[in-house]
């Protein structure tokens, strides 16, 4: 991280978190950010679900909810960017304050509640990005409105809306900030949801568009096994493991740790990576996995891949460490590949899955 980036982060962190986030998005929109070095290497390319990712590192949904900073995020060096969560109708989300920095823990708690500009506005922006030169893979994370009477219909509507502009879709059924949303993680409900989404894609002539299911880390092995089977049977391409957690580890130091909402960042790394490994072993090659939760450097990204992730995402670490983190992680992955004797990243995937799946949490 250079001096300019350090100063910019200090200024942003002096602001209220949601104000800082808005300012960061505007700076990216306007090109007012330091351009980090790019790391481009064929060994980092990942072919997954019929898509070719320039590198395995993506920006997770939640950072650019309304697709305002997509070109800048690709310019920073991300191999893929996932926007959203986007709902059919615009909604303001939950009352403020709803975003909290846990500095001592390198974590964030949010209870935003799917605040976004709605499908029409986001689709209009994405249409302008469709032919960006050299852009990576674009994902759209879709959700249901808080007051929806038919949530499955909302997801189907999202699939219709973004079928022609997204490279993949993510159905977000794991946010803890929309009451009742996680009920869709049940096997029967997930079957119906995926049937609705796949049907909508078939209507638009995009039956092969990859669909990922984003799941919560707060579930036991039996529920995870049911989700894996429902995802496979429902035609999902893969899982994103995982969303934020409602748990509050005893290790948290920040006085803000009791705020309600989803916890993200470093404290999520171990539980989400353990769940990732268990999903990998349960899926037995039938699903592709995106690992997210606590990725903050090359070592944590490398651990996700060895636990079973084909691709990794980050968000909270970007808030704390800035744009130069992307090149640092990609360079670090190349270094680790060379030291371990791997020529391609797909050779690394799942090589430590059993070890991670057996790992104990501090509370166990």
Residues that are catalytic: 175
Distance from C-alpha of 245 to C-alpha of 347, rounded to nearest angstrom: 30
Q: In 10 A of CB 132, how many CB atoms?
A: 13
Contact in structure between 217 and 240 (CB atoms under 8 Å):
no
Q: In 10 A of CB 95, how many CB atoms?
A: 8
Distance from C-alpha of 153 to C-alpha of 266, rounded to nearest angstrom: 35
Contact in structure between 234 and 195 (CB atoms under 8 Å):
yes
Peptide bond into 121 cis (omega under 30): no
Which has the closest alpha carbon to 20: 319, 322, 261?
319
| Three-point CA angle 76, 315, 241, nearest 5° | 120
Gyration radius of the chain over CA positions: 19
Which has the closest alpha carbon to 57: 287, 254, 246, 334?
334
| Three-point CA angle 105, 108, 112, nearest 5° | 165
Q: Where are the beta strands (DSSP E) in 90-186?
A: 99-102, 107-110, 137-142, 168-172
Q: At what angle do helices 324-340 and 298-307 cross, to 10 degrees?
A: 60
Q: How far apart are the first and last CA of the chain?
A: 37
Residue 5 exposed, middle or buried by CB count within 10 Å (0-12, 13-18, 19+) = middle
Contact in structure between 280 and 124 (CB atoms under 8 Å):
no
Sign of the alpha-carbon torsion through 175, 179, 180, 181: negative
Distance from C-alpha of 85 to C-alpha of 171, rounded to nearest angstrom: 9
């Amino acid at each position: 991280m250079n001096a300019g980036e350090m100063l910019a982060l200090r200024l942003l962190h002096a602001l209220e978190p949601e104000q800082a986030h808005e300012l960061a998005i505007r700076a990216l929109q306007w090109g007012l950010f330091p351009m980090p070095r790019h790391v481009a290497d064929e060994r980092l390319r990942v072919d997954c679900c019929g898509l070719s990712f320039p590198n395995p590192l993506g920006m997770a949904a939640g950072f650019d909810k309304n697709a305002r900073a997509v070109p800048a995020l690709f310019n920073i060096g991300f191999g893929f960017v996932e926007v959203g969560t986007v709902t059919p109708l615009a909604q303001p989300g939950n009352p403020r304050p709803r975003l909290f920095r846990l500095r001592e823990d390198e974590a964030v708690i949010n209870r935003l509640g799917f605040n976004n500009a709605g499908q029409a506005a986001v689709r209009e922006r994405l249409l302008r990005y469709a032919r960006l030169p050299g852009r990576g893979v674009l994902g759209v994370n879709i959700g249901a409105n808080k007051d929806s009477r038919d949530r499955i219909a909302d997801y189907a509507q999202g699939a219709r809306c973004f079928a022609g502009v997204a490279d993949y879709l993510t159905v977000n059924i794991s946010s803890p900030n929309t009451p009742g949303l996680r009920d869709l993680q049940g096997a029967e409900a997930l079957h119906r949801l995926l049937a609705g989404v796949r049907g909508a894609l078939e209507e638009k002539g995009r039956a092969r568009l990859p669909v990922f299911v984003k799941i919560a880390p707060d579930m036991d092995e039996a529920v995870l096994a049911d989700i894996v089977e429902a995802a496979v049977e429902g035609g999902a391409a893969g899982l994103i493991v995982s969303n934020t957690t409602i748990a509050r580890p005893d290790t948290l130091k920040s006085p803000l740790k009791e705020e309600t909402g989803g916890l993200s960042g470093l404290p999520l790394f171990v539980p989400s990576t353990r769940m990732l490994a268990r999903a990998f072993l349960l899926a037995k090659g039938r699903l592709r996995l995106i690992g997210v939760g606590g990725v903050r450097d090359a070592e944590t990204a490398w651990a996700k891949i060895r636990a079973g992730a084909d691709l990794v995402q980050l968000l909270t670490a970007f808030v704390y460490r800035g744009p130069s983190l992307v090149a640092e992680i990609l360079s670090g992955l190349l270094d680790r590949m060379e030291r371990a004797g791997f020529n391609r990243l797909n050779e690394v995937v799942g090589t430590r899955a059993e070890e991670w799946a057996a790992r104990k949490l501090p509370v166990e």
